[in-house]
């Protein structure tokens, strides 16, 4: 399958490892990964902060970059960006766009998937041949959980990983407190939520906390680092891309 | 936008500064005080956790819960769409049954009407049934200012009133208090209370009961709110847990009900849906203990004078707006508060309004406006959410609160003119729509490596990011962006290796792979697949 990869602005710039793992994983599963080079940002940060006029060009670019009919599916290693493309781009296009933009947005939204959705629903795989001999706990990010309804897809993928020790995260579905600019505008409340999440993670004794969103992991990982926790964060894509032959993402990342 | 003759293009909102629809300070500052209160956070955490679990139990046991939610949503939407017609029908029916209907545009009018009606009875005291509408308009304060003493009879509301405190939850106004605090409040404020009173809930309740009973027996006028008003029959309804409301609704000579105009339901049979949705969503009970229904006056039984005050106070303004209209569907069950991670940490006072929590963050600015230029605390409310969506999942009438918050944020930024934030957002969008500029910005971000410590993390960021770095480290930006890697020899080699691995794997793991392929439906896949193989 020819799959358009959207790196997301955060993934491209700050967390390229998660995007790289996504590209490698899909290629290893036998798919052609294309990266439209004009892509930048889905505009989610703008929209969620209350700006719908400003991201119109971003929404238009996204529809154009991925509108190519030879791209059968669009994937991104981010539940919140997938949610924005699927649900918010239409709002922006309806408000400020012409009929061409509205149509373009609808076409692209219909073939847009977050990574676990693409793997399980479109590509029909849960066992991706990954090997990850570590204790892992999974935090379902709010937008994956409630905007996309990914359900247990990420967990099914993780359960199929060879040698993984998957432990349940207590209070998994409570928000970690990130919320984009919420973490800045309401930093103290965000921190209170983060600390409860860090406490839950601590009870699992996991080496790794994983999730499908680099943004939430940036927040959780930043908190873990600050309290000098032994647990670190790793995007779901990186666990799924780890194999016996290219095993050691943990040491590689630490290097 | 077209304007009909005599119809204002924008209906008025609740006037600035009257009633209880606006706090003194913006949410982050108000939350700061509450976040520092460990006792409050423990009380709230415990209470919301318990009630969340109860709610999940009793909603989970109903096989048609989702259908009920849909029905509730549909009935409310229908009611909002023909509100004027339904209100006229309600007025007609109430009048037909011997009641009197009054219309109040805002809190000042409503307060005056109620005070006038109470004075006309000659009484200088009223007993009150717990009511959000009278909280909203600040009725107690107004009555006191004209020499009428209101007595709250809901136990939690009584605690709040005795403590000269403000409610912090729609349903459990004293949720922020524990029993030791309540004992102390009773000892301090209830005249003649047993000084030996301990903190056993039953004993506390008994002390309140003895105090209230005397009020029930002697007070001639009651003021209530209403959970529902039925247009078809003119019936009003209050649902409650303690029975104190029923005492107020039946014992006095005169009953005055203040009802927000959005509480109207078209038909009597609609109650069937809401009397299931409301208690399960609010207290996690299958049925609330007391449901009172009354229609006008019945000679020789119950209050012989009945007044219904229909309160607008910004509701028609909300109705004229797509967001506001959706928010008016709220039945004040408080489920969204109980699941909200922000509410759980900050409590209700941080919202500054009678309506706290997620729905309050939507409803309050709708009713009373966001006067951005005046640094209105209300304009901070739409941002008091991480948009986690738990409220949407919990809401029995399926109000999409996160989307409404995002829309309100948009309204706010459209109204505020140019701000530093808006300029930054514009600049960011400009950079992001131009790939060349974007790559430049990515390079600049990469310079952040320079300020990282030896462990590759940044622990201090400049404003406006300092709130972030107070509690979180930031990983240093990587050496290479994804797009640079993808275009590099290294990236190409890595992807080629992955493709080779696939080709080798195909022969080795044939059964697994063919399973994957059979799951795929599109014939196109195979074409691309073949091309990959030959490339
Ligand atoms: S918005 Fe929904 S969940 Fe919240 S109080 Fe209203 S009806 Fe209940």
Round to whole Å and give the CA distance between B73 and B204: 39
- Among A80-89, A239-248, B121-130, the minimum mean pLDDT is found in A239-248
Query: Is B102 near chain A, with CB under 8 Å?
Result: no
Within 10 Å of residue B8's Cβ, how many Cβ atoms?
11
Within 10 Å of residue A128's Cβ, how many Cβ atoms?
19
- Which of A106, A163, A107, A110 lies closest to A134 in space, CA to CA? A163
- Among B84-88, B183-187, B218-222, the minimum mean pLDDT is found in B183-187
- Average pLDDT taken over every residue of chain B: 89
Residue B519 has pLDDT above 80, yes or no: no
Interface test with A, best of B44, B56, B437, B486 (most A CBs within 10 A): B486
Angle A9-A10-A15 (CA atoms, 0-180°, nearest 5)?
A: 125
Residue B411 has pLDDT above 60, yes or no: yes
Nearest chain B CA: its distance from A134 CA (Å): 22
Q: Number of H helices and number of E strands within chain B?
A: 26, 12
Nearest chain A CA: its distance from B76 CA (Å): 24
Q: Which two tokens stand for residue B135?
A: 């909280």
Quote the pLDDT of residue B9. 62
Question: Model confidence at B430, in pLDDT bands (50, 70, 90)?
Answer: confident
Q: Are B162 and B185 in contact (CB under 8 A)?
A: yes
Within 10 Å of residue B100's Cβ, how many Cβ atoms?
16
- Which of A29, A19, A122, A34 lies closest to A76 in space, CA to CA? A19
Sorted by sequence, the CB contacts under 8 Å of residue B341 that are 6+ apart come out as: A174, A175, A177, A193, B386, B388, B390
Quote the pLDDT of residue B372. 75
Round to whole Å and give the CA distance between A90 and A84: 9
Quote the pLDDT of residue A232. 93
Q: Are B237 and B271 in contact (CB under 8 A)?
A: yes
Round to whole Å and give the CA distance between B53 and B489: 55
Quote the pLDDT of residue A246. 80
> What's the gap between Cα A86 and its chain centre?
14
Helices assigned H by DSSP within B97-138:
107-121, 132-137
Which chain A residues touch B387 with a CB distance below 8 Å? 48, 142-143, 179-180, 182
Share of chain B above pLDDT 70, in %: 93
Round to whole Å and give the CA distance between B380 and B342: 14
Q: Which two tokens stand for residue B92?
A: 């007609």
Within 10 Å of residue B505's Cβ, how many Cβ atoms?
16
On the 0-12 / 13-18 / 19+ scale of CB atoms within 10 A, B246 is middle
How many residues make up chain A in this entry?
Answer: 255
CA-based torsion, A192, A197, A201, A203: positive or negative = positive
Sorted by sequence, the CB contacts under 8 Å of residue B535 that are 6+ apart come out as: B499
Question: In chain B, positions 471-530, which contact chain A (CB-CB < 8 Å)?
Answer: 471-475, 477-478, 480-483, 485-487, 491, 494-495, 498-499, 501-502, 505-506, 509, 512-513, 515-516, 518-520, 522, 524-525, 528-529
Q: Which two tokens stand for residue B149?
A: 């003493």
Q: Which two tokens stand for residue A9?
A: 């602005």
Quote the pLDDT of residue A251. 46
Within 10 Å of residue B56's Cβ, how many Cβ atoms?
14
Round to whole Å and give the CA distance between A200 and A223: 13
Residue B527 has pLDDT above 60, yes or no: no
Q: Are B236 and B200 in contact (CB under 8 A)?
A: no
Quote the pLDDT of residue B191. 87
Secondary structure (DSSP) of A197-223? HHHHHHHHT-SEEEESBHHHHHHHHHH
Residue A254 has pLDDT above 80, yes or no: no
Round to whole Å and give the CA distance between B422 and A46: 10
Q: Are B89 and B232 in contact (CB under 8 A)?
A: yes
Q: Which helix (H) or strand (E) holds B435?
A: helix B435-446
Question: Model confidence at B357, in pLDDT bands (50, 70, 90)?
Answer: very high
Quote the pLDDT of residue B387. 97
On the 0-12 / 13-18 / 19+ scale of CB atoms within 10 A, B489 is exposed
- Please report, to the nearest 10 degrees, the dihedral formed by the alpha carbons of residues B247, B248, B254, B259 taken in order: -130
Q: Are A138 and A210 in contact (CB under 8 A)?
A: yes
Quote the pLDDT of residue B520. 43
Three-state secondary-structure class, residue B152: strand
How confident is the model over B238-267, as a mean pLDDT?
A: 96
Within 10 Å of residue B153's Cβ, how many Cβ atoms?
27
Angle B118-B299-B270 (CA atoms, 0-180°, nearest 5)?
A: 85
ipTM computed for the complex: 0.95
On the 0-12 / 13-18 / 19+ scale of CB atoms within 10 A, B81 is exposed
Q: Which two tokens stand for residue A185?
A: 């505008």
Which is more confidently placed, B462 or B298?
Answer: B298
Which chain B residues touch A54 with a CB distance below 8 Å? 422, 425-426, 428-429
Round to whole Å and give the CA distance between B334 and B359: 8
| pTM score | 0.91
Distance B424 CA to ligand 1 centre (A): 35
């Amino acid at each position: 399958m020819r799959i358009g990869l959207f790196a997301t602005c955060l993934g491209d710039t700050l967390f390229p490892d998660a995007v790289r793992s996504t590209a490698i994983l899909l290629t290893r599963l036998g798919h052609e990964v294309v990266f439209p080079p004009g892509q930048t940002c889905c505009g989610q940060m703008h929209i969620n902060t209350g700006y719908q006029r400003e991201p119109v060009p971003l929404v238009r670019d996204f529809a154009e970059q991925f509108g190519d009919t030879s791209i059968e599916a669009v994937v991104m290693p981010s539940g919140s960006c997938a949610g924005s493309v699927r649900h918010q781009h239409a709002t922006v296009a309806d408000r400020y766009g012409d009929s061409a933009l509205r149509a373009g947005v609808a076409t692209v939204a219909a073939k847009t998937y977050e990574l676990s959705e693409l793997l399980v629903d479109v590509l029909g795989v849960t066992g991706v041949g990954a090997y990850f001999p570590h204790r892992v706990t999974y935090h379902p990010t709010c937008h994956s959980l409630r905007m996309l309804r990914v359900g247990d897809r990420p967990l099914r993928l993780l359960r199929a990983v060879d040698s993984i020790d998957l432990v349940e995260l207590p209070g998994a579905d409570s928000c970690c407190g990130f919320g984009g600019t919420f973490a800045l505008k309401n930093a103290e409340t965000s921190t209170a939520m983060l600390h409860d999440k860090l406490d839950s993670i601590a009870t699992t004794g996991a080496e790794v906390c994983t999730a499908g969103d680099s943004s939430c992991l940036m927040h959780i990982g930043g908190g873990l680092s600050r309290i000098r926790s032994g647990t670190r964060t790793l995007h779901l894509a990186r666990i799924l891309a780890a194999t016996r032959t290219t095993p050691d993402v943990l040491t590689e990342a630490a290097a | 936008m077209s304007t009909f003759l005599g119809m204002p293009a924008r209906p008025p909102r609740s006037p600035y500064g009257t009633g209880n629809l606006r706090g003194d300070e913006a949410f982050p500052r108000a939350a700061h005080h509450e976040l520092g209160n460990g006792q409050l956070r423990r009380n709230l955490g415990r209470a919301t956790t318990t009630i969340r679990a109860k709610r999940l139990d009793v909603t989970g046991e109903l096989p048609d819960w989702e259908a009920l939610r849909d029905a509730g949503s549909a009935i409310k939407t229908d009611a909002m769409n023909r509100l004027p017609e339904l209100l006229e029908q309600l007025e007609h029916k109430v009048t037909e049954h011997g009641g009197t209907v009054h219309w109040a545009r805002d809190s000042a009018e409503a307060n005056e009407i109620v005070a006038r009606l109470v004075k006309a009875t000659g009484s200088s005291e009223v007993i009150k049934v717990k009511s959000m509408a009278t909280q909203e308009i600040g009725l107690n304060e107004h009555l006191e200012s004209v020499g009428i003493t209101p007595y709250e009879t809901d136990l939690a509301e009584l605690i709040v009133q005795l403590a000269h405190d403000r409610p912090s939850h729609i349903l459990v106004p004293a949720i922020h208090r524990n029993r030791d605090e309540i004992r102390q409040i009773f000892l301090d404020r209830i005249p003649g209370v047993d000084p030996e009173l301990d903190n056993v809930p039953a004993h506390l309740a008994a002390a309140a009961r003895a105090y209230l009973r005397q009020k029930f027996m002697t007070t001639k006028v009651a003021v209530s709110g209403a959970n529902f008003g039925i247009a078809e029959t003119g019936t009003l309804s209050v649902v409650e847990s303690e029975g104190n409301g029923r005492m107020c609704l039946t014992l006095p000579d005169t009953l005055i009900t203040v009802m927000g105009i959005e509480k109207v339901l078209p038909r009597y049979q609609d109650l069937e849906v809401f009397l299931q949705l409301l208690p399960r969503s609010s207290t996690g009970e299958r049925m609330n203990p007391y449901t009172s229904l009354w229609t006008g006056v019945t000679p020789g039984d119950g209050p012989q004078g009945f007044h219904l005050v229909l309160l607008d106070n910004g509701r028609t303004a909300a109705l004229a707006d797509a967001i506001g209209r959706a928010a008016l569907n709220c039945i004040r069950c408080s489920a969204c508060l109980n699941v909200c991670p922000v509410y759980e940490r900050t409590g209700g006072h941080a919202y500054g309004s009678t309506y706290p929590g997620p729905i309050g963050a939507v409803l309050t600015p709708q009713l009373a406006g966001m006067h951005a230029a005046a640094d209105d605390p209300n304009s901070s409310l739409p941002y008091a959410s991480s948009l986690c969506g738990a409220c949407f999942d919990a809401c029995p009438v399926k109000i999409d609160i996160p989307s409404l918050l995002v829309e309100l944020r948009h309204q706010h930024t459209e109204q505020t003119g140019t701000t530093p934030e808006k300029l930054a957002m514009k600049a960011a969008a400009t950079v992001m729509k131009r790939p060349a500029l974007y790559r430049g910005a990515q390079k600049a971000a990469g310079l952040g490596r320079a300020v990282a410590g030896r462990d590759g993390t940044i622990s201090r960021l400049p404003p406006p990011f300092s709130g972030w770095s107070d509690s979180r480290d930031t990983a240093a930006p990587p050496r290479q962006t994804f797009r640079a890697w993808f275009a590099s020899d290294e990236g190409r080699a890595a992807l080629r290796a992955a493709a080779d691995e696939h080709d080798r794997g195909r022969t080795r793991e044939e059964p697994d792979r063919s399973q994957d392929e059979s799951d795929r439906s599109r014939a196109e896949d195979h074409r691309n697949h073949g091309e990959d193989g030959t490339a």
